Chain A
Amino acid sequence: MKYFGLVWAGLWRKKTRTVFTMISIVIAFLLFGLLQGINQGFGTAMANLDVDRLYVSARTSMTDGMPISYLSRIRSVPGVRAVSLWAYFGGYFQDARKPIPAFATDAVELFRVYKEIKIKPEYIEAMAKTRTGVLVGEALAAQYGWKIGDRIPIGTSIWTNKSGSNTWEFDIVGTFDASAYGAGFPSFYLNWSYFDEARQFGTGETHYYIVSVQDPKQAERVSRDIDALFANSSVETRTQTEYALAQSQLKQLGDINFIANAIVGAVLFTLLFLTANTMMQSVRERTSELAVLKTLGFSDTKVLVLVLTEALLLCLFAAGLGIAVAALVFESPALQKLFGDFSMPAIVATMGAGIAVLVAFVSGFPPAWRARQLNIVDALAGR
């Protein structure tokens, strides 16, 4: 600790260079924190997905409709506990650029399939009794200032109702808390039966059947049985576990893990050379100063440790700053909206610290070794 002043002062010998090097490290670790944070966040969310839920969609495309008659046939498959459905509504409120994740469903069954959703039973009852009723996620209701009893106009770019309008009016009959499933979980549900009667086309079809199985170990077999039921029909099905579905959706964005690691790897590799260059220049410029330290009695090893500590301080300080900024970014309202109640996982900070130490050692060791090997007489004589 008593050497801290000496090391810190050495670090700021060339302020501009140190500041620019630090900014580079801060940006590199900010990027690392953000990408790895997102990566880990997806990983954690995927790991938490239920294995006892299956998603049935048309084999051709997730957006193609399947006959509603499939519902009763799927329910009859041995091992199925409950089945609900989702039909895309594609809604928006007032501004078409601000979509609302709205789906038509069978609410009673939906809350049997998604057991972690917190909702008062009376809201489910009210939904069953009110044809134009909707259940809205608490966060969405808060966002638009909606409350139970409100009648709200919801526009849709897909569906025209039988009165020829693309704006549908709904009555809010209840709210629910689906935070257990993350912020991406649909948070606006209308009655499928009302939706089906009122739309001008696509009648009798839905986009997803969501199946809850009695025993997760039977999920594979149930999937096969469901797809076998509709094999060689006009609309064949593809049944996937929730995990597989999420993965296939993520694949559409690209391999997040690979992209994150590739970018971070390239940035850190560049950083390694940048830091090594800074440290090497710093040591070259201080040859006579390091020789003076040795003259005063600092051993070779002590000088090596001083230079390494300087690199360590530079990297850890700047990396810590970068990771802290990344953590703050995750707390920002915009990202909270995107990822829900999500903080940067502690493992990312730990990984960041580990990489900073590695960068410091790899980039700091050559100049530190050079300083260690310095011959006092030659260095003082400027040779």
Chain B
Amino acid sequence: MTALVTLRNVTKSYVRGKQKVEVLHGVDLSIETGEFLALMGPSGSGKTTLLNLVAGLDQPTSGEVLVAGDRIDQLSRGSLSDWRARHIGFIFQFYNLLPVLTAEANVEVPLLLTSLSKSERRRRVQLALELVGLADRARHKPNELSGGQQQRVAIARAIVSDPTLLVCDEPTGDLDRQNAEEIMNLLQALNRSQNKTIVMVTHDPKAAEYASRELHLDKGRLTNDARRAA
């Protein structure tokens, strides 16, 4: 196994008003290709901040962030955009689909940044929707879909460009138990059958059980790192 994500002595601080708040304190972390990592911890522990750094949405105050061989802490804003388009698939708590677009158009959005032809984009969108079991809802707009279905569309959008890493921020946080289980089964299947590396922030211990590794953060420090047998 090779490390897909490596964080070395990463700190992150924000200025809130006149106060400087350090959210992460010298975090070292290695995530291997094919791992399904659940990041857990109380509110304000720095989970989402860590996720944002791994996903290239934010830059560390100090330290190194290596993902897929790139020192993303050294990339400019513009280069980070390109890098995210190539390497990262995002799944949010509140789905964050574009309400004016149909399910298939939402899934197509990341592919607009590629040089793929229209027919190839359509083929991939169809494939991704089939993979999440929503091929028959392709022409529906988000407000015509249930929460679980919207999250499936969001997963299809996240995987359609075949990213190196899937990052999920509370993917079941807005769903009932049954839909949450379906989404977690889907993520687990993607991890196991497609060998997708997944980093997931969650409060839900049941959701974390689907992951192969559980990492706990408290007050900006890693406190517990547990691997689960497959």
Contact = CB atoms under 8 A, between A and B. Distances in A.
Contacts of B177: none
Contacts of B100: 9-10, 12-13
A86 B90 CA distance: 84
Contact of B98 (A2, A12, A289, A300): A289
Contact of B90 (A10, A295, A298): A295
A5 B104 CA distance: 12
A296 B57 contact: no
Interface residues on chain A, size class: 20 to 34
B176 interface: no
Contacts of A292: 90, 92, 96, 98
Interface in B97-128: 98-101, 105, 109-110, 112-113, 118
Interface residues on chain B, size class: 20 to 34
A293 B81 CA distance: 10
Interface string A141-165: 0000000000000000000000000
B81 A294 contact: yes
A302 B90 CA distance: 19
A55 to B, nearest CB: 64
Given A10-B100, A12-B100, A296 B85 contact: yes
A3 interface: yes
A297 B96 contact: no
B110 to A, nearest CB: 5
B84 A297 contact: yes
Contacts of A3: 112
A301 B78 contact: yes
Interface in B112-159: 112-113, 118, 157
Nearest to B96: A292
A307 B20 CA distance: 34
A305 to B, nearest CB: 13
A299 B112 CA distance: 12
A67 to B, nearest CB: 79
A302 B77 CA distance: 12
Given A6-B112, A377-B58, A297 B81 contact: yes
A214 interface: no
B105 A300 contact: no
B109 A293 contact: yes
Contacts of A289: 96, 98-99
Contact of B82 (A5, A299, A380): A299
Contact of A295 (B57, B86, B101, B105): B57
A300 B79 CA distance: 11
A299 B99 contact: no
Contact of A6 (B81, B109, B118): B109
Nearest to B86: A297
A10 to B, nearest CB: 6
B52 interface: yes
B85 A2 contact: no
A288 interface: yes
A82 interface: no
B78 A296 contact: no
Given A9-B100, A376-B57, A296 B105 contact: no
Contacts of B77: 299-300
Given A9-B100, A9-B101, A12-B100, A2 B118 contact: yes
Given A297-B81, A298-B81, A288 B96 contact: yes
A294 B83 CA distance: 12
A189 B113 CA distance: 73
Nearest to B14: A377
A230 to B, nearest CB: 77
A5 to B, nearest CB: 6
Contacts of A297: 81-82, 84-86, 88, 110, 113
A294 B109 CA distance: 11
A293 B112 CA distance: 11
Given A296-B90, A296-B113, A377-B57, A13 B81 contact: no
B52 A377 contact: yes
Nearest to B110: A296
Nearest to A377: B58
Contacts of A5: 101, 105
B78 A299 contact: yes
Nearest to A375: B58
Interface in A1-43: 2-3, 5-6, 9-10, 12-13
Nearest to A299: B81
A12 B141 CA distance: 14
B158 to A, nearest CB: 9
Contacts of A301: 78
Interface of B: 52, 55, 57-58, 77-78, 81-82, 84-86, 88, 90, 92, 96, 98-101, 105, 109-110, 112-113, 118, 157
8 contacts: A13-B100, A294-B81, A295-B57, A297-B82, A299-B77, A300-B77, A300-B78, A377-B58
Give the 5 A-B CB pairs with smallest separation, nearest first: A297-B85, A9-B100, A299-B81, A292-B96, A297-B84
Given A3-B112, A12-B100, A301-B78, 13 more contacts: A6-B105, A9-B98, A288-B96, A289-B98, A292-B90, A296-B113, A296-B157, A297-B81, A297-B88, A299-B77, A300-B81, A302-B81, A376-B57
